Every structure is written in C-alpha cells, then in structure tokens.
Amino acid sequence: MNKTKTYRHLFFDLDHTLWDFEKNSEETLYHLYDHFKLQELGGFTRESFYKKYSFVNQRLWDLYHQGKITQHELRENRFVKCLTGLGVAEADVPEGLGKAFTDICPTKSAVFPFTYEVLDYLKEKYVLHIITNGFKDVQYIKMKSSGLDAYFSEVITSECINCTKPDKRIFQHALERAGVTAQESLMIGDSLEADILGAMNAGIDAVFFNPERKKPRMRPTYVVNCLSELKSFL
C-alpha cells in the first residue's frame, strides 16, 4: 500500500459499491412478480424469476459495455429474454413490466454496510465524486432516494461522454470535471475490469471493493472487503 501518496479527490462507483443493486433489485422483482401475477404465466417461483433476470441482465449489460447494444435495447429486451427463458411465450410478457422496474427500483434505498459512516468520515478530508456506467435518469433518483446525493460534488455518467468504464476517456473526463490530476485521485469500485483496470489505465490509483472476497486477477493499489476498511488508510 502506498500510504505516502496524498489524495485530494475520491471517485466512487455507485451500483454494487455504495448502492446495493442486488438487494434493491431483488426487492423490486419480488414485488413485480406478485403485482403482475407472473406465477400464472408458468411454474416458476419468485426466486427463479429473480435468478433468471439477474443472469440475463448481467449478460445484456456486458453487451452494452462492449458497445454491442444500446440503452434502449437493454431495457426493452431484458424482461422478454428473462421470461421467455422461463418458458413464457413472448406475446404473454406483460406490457409495462420493464417500465415498472425502471420506475420502482431506483427509489429503493438499501446501501452497503458502513456506507454513511464512511462517507461522513471521508467528506471531511476529501472531495467526493461518482463515476458510473448506469443511466443518468435513474442514477440521480437512486442517489436522492438513498440520501447519497448530499455527499458528492460531481456525478459523471457514461452518457456524459458517450463511453463506458473501463474506457479511460471517462476517467479523464472525470478528472477534468473535478479539476484535479490523476496523481491526486483515487477510484473505489467493485469491478476489476470497469473500475480498477479502467482507472489504472488512466493513471489513477484504485481500491477494489471486494465483499465476496474474490481472488483478484490483477493487483489493485488497495483491496478492501468492507467499506469501513477505507478509514484505515484514508
């Protein structure tokens, strides 16, 4: 760990790092399963619906990050692919299901343990920012619903510059927006490729947030399993 470097600005990923995407989406999907009476469409449970959606959604996000599909295609296709994968005829996929998810999920407020405690501590010492591949229209709702908006000066979304992490241009754009150098900055995120490799390719030190204790395929500047560990070196 390079404790001699002086950081001035900290850049956080949002989903899966601060805002608990899995918990919030699970709660939303269970609600939609009941509200749209999906149990009447086939013999699948709420849990299998959630698992299938998570699998399909992740694959589509991977394609989006690779520039192979658009935001519109991602949103339009994920529930169709999910339910047809569970044996539902495409014509029977309920109209409005995707919009309901987009409307409801961002209003959920679950965050990772110690999020507020750590941000309260860090905001007294650093300027805090967000860099996210999530869509602008929902990311701001997530932050407001969870009270995270009060902590961050700049919120840089992939739509701001028409490229996604790990493209180093989004990190360079973030540095320009914040008016800071790469040497004075630190990125914190859960994705080895998007957050860690992307930041390091832009000359920015990076913290791999690793609550699942995966073995990193690369060597980040720092690794933490809990956000509270940030206080030990920042």
Domains of the chain by residue range: 9-20+111-232, 22-107
Among candidates 108, 163, 112, 117, which has minimal Cα distance to 138? 108
Q: Is the pLDDT of residue 42 over 90?
A: no
What mean pLDDT do residues 22-48 have?
95
Beta bridge partners of 111: 19
In terms of pLDDT, which residue wins out, 158 or 145? Answer: 145
What is the C-alpha separation between 42 and 159, in angstroms, rounded?
37
* pLDDT at residue 96, as a whole number: 94
Cβ atoms within 10 Å, residue 203 = 14
pLDDT digits (tens, 9 = 90+) for 92-151: 999 999 999 999 999 999 999 999 999 999 999 999 999 999 888 899 999 999 999 999
Q: How far apart are the first and last CA of the chain?
A: 11
220: Cβ contacts below 8 Å, ≥ 6 apart: 192, 196, 200, 206, 207, 208
217: Cβ contacts below 8 Å, ≥ 6 apart: 192
56: Cβ contacts below 8 Å, ≥ 6 apart: 78, 81, 82, 85
- DSSP H or E stretch at residue 132: strand 127-132
Instruction: Please report, as a single letter, which amino acid is at residue 38.
Output: L
* pLDDT at residue 3, as a whole number: 52
Q: In this structure, what is the dihedral angle of CA atoms 183, 170, 21, 1, given to the nearest 10 degrees?
A: -20
* pLDDT at residue 4, as a whole number: 53
Q: In this structure, what is the dihedral angle of CA atoms 122, 221, 110, 103, given to the nearest 10 degrees?
A: 110
Alpha helix stretches (DSSP H) within the chain: 21-35, 46-65, 71-85, 97-104, 115-123, 136-146, 158-161, 168-178, 198-201
- pTM (2 decimals)? 0.92
* pLDDT at residue 120, as a whole number: 98
* pLDDT at residue 198, as a whole number: 95
Among candidates 174, 187, 110, which has minimal Cα distance to 142? 110
CATH number for the 22-107 domain, one of 1.10.3720.10, 1.20.1060.10, 2.60.40.420, 1.10.150.240?
Answer: 1.10.150.240
CATH code: domain 9-20+111-232 is 3.40.50.1000
